[in-house]
Amino acid sequence: MRRDHKPYSMRLLVNFVRRLYTNWRLKPQFAAVGSGLEIIGPHRLEIWGDDIYLGDNVHMQTSKGQMSRLCTWPNETGGRGRIDIGSHTLLTPGLQIVSANHVSIGDNVMIASRVYISDADWHEIYDRLASPGPHAPVHIGENVWLGEGVKVCKGVTIGANSVIGAGSVVTKDIPANVIAAGNPAKMVRELNKDRPIKKRESMFEDVKEYNKTMSYLHYLNHKENGFIGWLRQMIKPSRKG
């Protein structure tokens, strides 16, 4: 569709059902969940395993054809993986985080579509039946931005504020306050230390005002839509309307 033709009342209904599904089906699967969790397309989020923790104001997006997955797996020590996702993070469609050790994601992190983060090899090189294979913790620092299709491998630390370019494969530590890209990812340049970075947390300084603004934006996007026009576009899409 060229745009969303749903009437405003349908938009409100969709939002209600989405929240209901999230609270009923998904929240109980996390070890802990902060306030303000929002999941768009919650039926396309797969959660498997224990010890998955979310901070406040975590926003997840999924889309058709791009399931997102958070998974913790047992390891050979008798323990299992753990995933910690900090507050005010943005996680977009196709994300996969799989842990047999520990994946830690700081506050205000932004993760673009189709990112894969893993702290294990999942098979040993010479004994292909051995699982999860070698593993080491992954730490993604505060306010990091991972571009589309980035892969983060076991044992990696990415420093605060750093940006990883689209399609990069991170096999070694990346320092704070840099832009890195490539396969394997390497520093391209340092960030300008004299320029302040506005973080996602600033959106939630006044949660009531944030919710009011989002509701108003939904209203603006749908106020002109009617049921007949919506049904017409569902049955026979056109450039008009």
Task: Write down the catalytic residue from 88, 123, 135, 222.
Answer: 123
User: Helix H segments across the chain?
Assistant: 8-21, 207-222, 227-235
Q: How far apart are CA 121 and CA 153, in angstroms?
A: 8
Q: How far apart are CA 116 and CA 186, in angstroms?
A: 18
Compute CA 156 distance to the chain's CA centroid, rounded to the nearest angstrom.
18
State yes or no: is 43 an active-site residue. Answer: no
Q: Long-range contacts made by residues 14-22, C-beta under 8 angstroms, separation at least 24?
A: 15/218, 18/42
Q: Identify whether the C-beta of residue 18 lies closer than 8 Å to the C-beta of residue 62.
A: no
Which residues are catalytic, by number?
123
